Amino acid sequence: MSSLNLDDFTDLIERPDGGVRRDAEARRERQVVPPGALGRLDDLGEWLSAAQGTVPVRPVERPRVVLFAGDHGIAALDVSAHPAGGAERLVRDVLEGGRPVSVLARRLGVPVRVVDMALDCDPATLPDEVVRHRVRRGSGRIDIEDALTPDEAEAAFRAGIAVADEEADSGTDLVVLGDVSVGGTTAAGVLVAALCGTDASVVTGRGGLAIDDLAWMRKCAAIRDALVRARPVLGDQLQLLATVGGADLAAMTGFLLQSAVRKLPVVLDGVVTAACALVAQRIAFRAPDWWLAAHDSGEPGQAKALDRMALEPLLSHGVTVGEGAGGLLALPLVQAAAALAAELPELPPPYQESGAQAVEEPAEEGAEGAVDPAGARTAE
């Protein structure tokens, strides 16, 4: 009998420290640039301070990209622009530096970790550190069969927990989470539609390479058929992942929950990570407080999931490639928010209490000990 109790996550996951966030907000009000002048960067800096439990916020110095990889049997229905079983080639390109996430990671100096959960290839052809958590070779075709057995789903979920612990223990201070999969957006669409109680057409997007109309109709039909199988198991999230998810999606769900337990902030990339986050939210309602939505990929399923979790994307550039690329594009914003929150000087004490009023009431000309308020906003 399984010893994994998903209800434990509800007790283990706490919200980011509210008291620290209030202290961060108070500090922000004392800084030389008026609150609100930096837009969402103010909120980002305060959120990160609460997540770290410290004021001023520490810089994000050890970020990491973590990509879970897998092939999905549903890709055999030609629902993706990539060939069925083609995720291995994508993984190799990531490892060899030939994918967008590789280029961005090099430019930003961020290491990339790929975790094979269910690639349809011989594990001996990939590095040991990539394949050591693999659960199976490919996931089942979810319109007619389960993606995983219950034991495989639990093993994948536990693998995600283990990866989160490895990252937290190694000193990683923020994770950009993504996937490398073929057929993964179809499985993600099923999860979102099932959890949001909507139809297949509402969540069916065109994927990373913009499939044509016929492929879109095949994808929509596949999601519709898989939804019939998903609805009876909605009350059991692990069984839901086994029925219509996949090893990579189960692992990402476990990763997201354990990252929240370990107080490790996570930046969500595209629709696949959003779908896993939605499953994780069903397990532990406080978990989304530890996540940021990097960007709006244009996938309707992603928009639906983020809206349900009240997560607003940081960027809207139409990046659909997946693989963590959109998440990496948002990373400099997070780092900039941390730097501004930590390094902007505070107003001198005479101008902290009344803020803008102090600036509007200059001292009398020639008065002894007078200080120029305008200078106070520029002097460090």
Q: How many CB atoms lie within 10 A of CB 356?
A: 10
CB-CB contact of 272 with 266 (8 Å): no
Spatial neighbors of 131 by CB under 8 A, at least 6 apart, are 116, 119, 123
In 3D, which of 250, 242, 73, 230 has the Cα closest to residue 179? 250
CB-CB contact of 327 with 54 (8 Å): no
- Catalytic residues, by residue number, are 323
pTM (two decimals): 0.90
Mean pLDDT of the region 322-337: 94
Which range has the worst mean pLDDT, 76-90, 207-221, 323-337? 207-221
Residue 307 sits at φ, ψ, to 5 deg, of -65, -40
- Which is higher by pLDDT, 372 or 304? 304
Q: Where in the chain is the domain with CATH 3.40.50.10210?
A: 63-332
pLDDT tens-digit readout, 264-310: 999 999 999 999 999 999 999 999 999 999 999 889 999 999 999 99
Average pLDDT, the chain: 90
Amino acid occupying residue 231:
R
What integer pLDDT is reported at residue 370 of this predicted model? 41
**Spelled out in words, what is the top-level CATH class assigned to the domain 63-332?**
alpha beta
317: confidence class by pLDDT, cuts 50, 70, 90: confident
pLDDT tens-digit readout, 190-232: 999 999 999 999 999 876 667 788 989 999 999 999 999 999 9
CB-CB contact of 191 with 275 (8 Å): yes
